[in-house]
Amino acid sequence: MFSLRAPFRTIRAIPSPIAATAVAPQLAGRSRPRNPGSMDKKDPSVGTGLVGAPACGDVMKLQIRVDEATGTITDAKFKTFGCGSAIASSSYLTELVKGMRLDEASKIRNVDISKELCLPPVKLHCSMLAEDAIKAAIADYHVKNPKAKITDLAGTAKTIRETMQPSV
């Protein structure tokens, strides 16, 4: 007898080490974002950066708490309304800037974030939002603390790795 029903087969995905390593950081940021939340924006040691991308509707708020004596970022929080790549960029940025001095954090580039998260070209605007957010947060901190050491927001480093390596 002839049957029109195809036999039921279970198709199992074979994990690829290359694919797993390429998307693992981005997926980890989406499924378990780190440092979500907010701080008191009236606190003078807190800088707040609020940026948005009208083209896609993503909005990112990044807040940093700075140790006034050392100029070091001691804590960072974010609230992001947008796609998973925007949330992953925010989450990664908060982890990255903790422990950095303001001048080091101002040199973070969207290229560093997008490479670490393996963002596709169509999602590069998410890493650009994160770069803009950290610069806006640093600028807000300087507005609240005019006596703090001024940071070059133009960021002259080519990559974050160059910023983090000790000079020889």
| Sheet hosting strand 72-81, strand order edge to edge | 46-53, 58-67, 72-81
Question: What are the structural domain ranges in the chain?
Answer: 25-148
Choosing from 56, 83, 118, 124, the catalytic residue is 56
Question: Across all residues in the chain, what is the average pLDDT?
Answer: 80
From 71, 68, 49, 72, select the one nearest 60 (Cα to Cα): 49
Rounded to whole angstroms, how far apart are CA atoms 13 and 113? 29
* pLDDT reported for residue 47: 97
Higher pLDDT, 104 or 4: 104
* pLDDT reported for residue 32: 85
Question: Do residues 44 and 145 lie in contact, with contact meaning Cβ atoms separated by under 8 Å?
Answer: yes
For residue 75, pLDDT beyond 50 = yes
Distance of CA 53 to the CA centre of its chain: 15
Choosing from 46, 87, 126, 138, the catalytic residue is 126
Is position 126 annotated as part of the catalytic site? yes
Provide the total of helices (H) and of strands (E) in the chain, helices listed first.
6, 3
Six token digits for residue 9 = 């087969």
Q: What's the CATH fold of domain 25-148?
A: Sufe protein. Chain: A (3.90.1010)
Is position 56 annotated as part of the catalytic site? yes
Question: Do residues 58 and 82 lie in contact, with contact meaning Cβ atoms separated by under 8 Å?
Answer: yes
Render pLDDT for 119-163 as a digit per residue (tens, 0 to 9): 999 999 999 999 999 999 999 999 999 888 766 665 544 444 444
Q: What is the C-alpha end-to-end distance of the chain, expressed in Å?
A: 80
Render pLDDT for 80-124 as a digit per residue (tens, 0 to 9): 999 999 999 999 999 999 999 999 999 999 999 999 999 999 999
Lowest mean pLDDT among 51-60, 63-72, 128-137: 51-60
Q: Which amino acid makes up residue 118?
A: C
* pLDDT reported for residue 9: 45
